[in-house]
Structure 1
Amino acid sequence: MKDDEAFARDRDEFEELLREEPRRAPRKAIVAIAVAAAVVVGAGIALAVGLSGGGGSESPGVAGSSSSPTADDASARPTPSESSAPGGSTATPVADGNGSSAPGRATPDARETLPPVDFDAPAAVAGGPTVSVSRIESVRGEAVLPGEVSGPAVRVTVEVKNGSEKSIDLTTAAVTLYAGSTDLQASPITKPAGRAFPSEVGPGKTVEGAFVFELPESQRTDVRIEVDLSVSDPLIAFEGDIG
């Protein structure tokens, strides 16, 4: 059996153990917390590197751009011979009547116009109809529609004779009068007794239409009347004085 001295020594060692145990536990906890913190910081750095596009990858939702021009970019640039019009469009120089270039002007209408004839002469379209001004009357225009003005006017009756073997469509046919002293287009007016062409003229048939225009007596010299049967036919022109 142990003597009193041995029991006292064992008791002191036990008490020493009891005093040291509470101090060891906190050190282990501190180490665990430090390790966890290091793991969290490391994960955060890795995530930041991934989001910043490291290693050549792109950020989600952000398109990559190249600083060096490509062949497509070079071909899309305007050449020095092109001139840019307002709004980003390109104006192409076109030749005027003298053969010079006028940038930005529209290309002139290349539609054929037959040489003008006198009011009392017929104008024949090759392989198509023969058109003539059968009557020109001085009348008093009566305003019916908005924009029309009552006053001095002329009524022009135009005749279309179909000498071909096919019917000719006249649904888009139009007659225009230009005042001689001003060379301005005269305003059409409904009355008296204006009437359009019928929708067509059959083979060997003749039809006519009557067209009324506002025209003061002071503008009845060097008058020009144009008949436009369709876009597939040339314009037909008549010129002269209206008595």
Structure 2
Amino acid sequence: MDKEGLRRRTGGRRRLALVAVLVLVLLTGGLFTLQIGGGGADPAAAQREPNATEASPGPQGEQSAASPAAGEATAPAADGSGGDGETGGGDGAGAALGEPPAAGEINDAPQPVAAAGALNRPADVSDGVEAAVGSFEAVDGDPGGAAEAGGPSIRFSVTVSNRTGSAISLEEAVVNVEAGPDATPATQLSGPGGTAFPATLGAGESASAVFVFRVAPELRQALRILFHYQATTPIAAFEGPMPQSEGKQ
């Protein structure tokens, strides 16, 4: 091959290489231009676009964030109110729950008193528990302290019998006396000879306590002895006359 032919062939290859380089530069520049001009969409940006919409501020975005997902149950408010702040279930929803009773409201109710029996007859104060009064005397009451005042008094005993199969407590046992036509409460004195119930009474056992109350002689024809066994049982009542002078009846 002569020099002229070799020169032409080499020049042709150079021109093809130059054309290829120009084409590559043009393509690269076109793509760059499209990206800058917004003609192309960034797949990553398009993928992030919905999340940006959800996070964007605005009333519609806030409502979507606060709303529960589809298919999820909305939990009721702790105070029974709906989502709009109004009480759920109507005006009677709060009343259905009921208001707690005021302190002491139930305990303030008077304890019932059983029908009164004669002084010489025992009374059932609970299942298997019986009480009876006896040994009535008129005495001169002895003041046991500065707060007590002596004077004409009555003394008697109260006997409790336990016919249950287990021990019972007498710690709540209390005796009161009312005297006269107006059922005036009498004052309890320490003596002479006053005693107390034991704290516990065994099964099948009986125990007595002696009580002294200051009662004027003119009121002793209408006496009422009240025996309080427990707060859950009615009060036993005994009625009848008492002696008006010292000594046994």
- With structure 1 as the length reference, what TM-score do the two structures score? 0.55
Report the identity percentage: 28
5+ unaligned residues in a row in structure 1: which ranges?
Answer: 1-69, 76-91, 93-104
Is the alpha carbon distance of 1:135 and 1:109 closer, same or farther for their aligned partners in structure 2, counting shifts above 3 Å? farther
1:147 matched residue in structure 2: 147
In the alignment, is residue 122 of structure 1 matched against residue 122 of structure 2? yes
Structure number with larger C-alpha Rg: 2
Paired residue for 1:209?
Answer: 209
Tell me how far apart the structure 1 counterparts of residues 155 and 226 of structure 2 sit (CA, whole Å).
14
Q: C-alpha separation between the residues in 2 aligned to 1:156 and 1:194?
A: 9
Does the 8 Å CA contact 2:163/2:205 hold for their aligned counterparts? yes
- Aligned equivalent of 2:193: 193
Q: Structure 1 CA distance, aligned partners of 2:149 and 2:222?
A: 23
| Cα distance between partner residues in 2 of 1:212 and 1:142 | 9
Question: Which amino acid in the other structure matches residue 238 of structure 1?
Answer: F
What does residue 238 of structure 2 align with? 238
Describe the SS at the equivalent of 1:192: coil
Change (3 A) 1:106 1:222: farther
User: How far off is 1:108 after superposition?
Assistant: 6.8
Q: State whether residues 182 and 219 of structure 1, in contact with CA within 8 Å, keep that contact through their aligned partners in structure 2.
A: no
Deviation of 1:125 after TM superposition, in Å, equals: 3.0
Q: Tell me which residue corresponds to 1:134.
A: 134
CA distance in structure 1 between the partners assigned to 2:170 and 2:107 by the alignment: 27
Give the structure 1 partner of residue 172 of structure 2: 172
Unaligned stretches of 5+ residues in structure 2: 1-84, 92-101, 244-249
| 1:233 Cα deviation from its structure 2 partner | 2.0
Deviation at 1:224, TM superposition (A): 0.6
The alpha-carbon distance between structure 1 residues 107 and 157, as it changes in their structure 2 partners (threshold 3 A), is closer
Give the corresponding residue for 1:222. 222
Q: Which amino acid aligns with 2:146?
A: P
Indicate the SS of the match to 1:125.
strand
- C-alpha offsets along residues 189-230 of structure 1, whole Å, 9 cap, x if unaligned? 001010111111111100000111011101112211000011
CA-CA distance at 1:142 after TM superposition: 1.0
Q: Aligned to 1:137, what secondary structure does the other structure show?
A: strand
TM-score for both structures, normalised by structure 2: 0.54
Q: What amino acid maps onto 1:139 in structure 2? A: V
- The 1-side partners of 2:107 and 2:232 are apart by 19
Aligned residues: 151
Other-structure match for 2:181? 181
TM-superposition CA deviations, 1:37-81 (whole Å, max 9, x none): xxxxxxxxxxxxxxxxxxxxxxxxxxxxxxxxx978xx9xxxxxx
SS state of the match for residue 144, structure 2? coil
Stretch deviating more after TM superposition (177-186 or 214-223): 177-186
Structure 2 residue aligned with 1:22? none
List, as ranges, runs of 4+ consecutive aligned residues in structure 1 with deviation greater than 3 Å. Answer: 105-108
Cα distance in 1 for partners of 2:173, 2:106 equals 25
Cα distance in 2 between the residues matched to 1:159 and 1:125:
12
Asked if 1:159 corresponds to 2:164, the answer is no
Report SS of the residue matched to 1:218: helix
SS at match of 2:208: strand
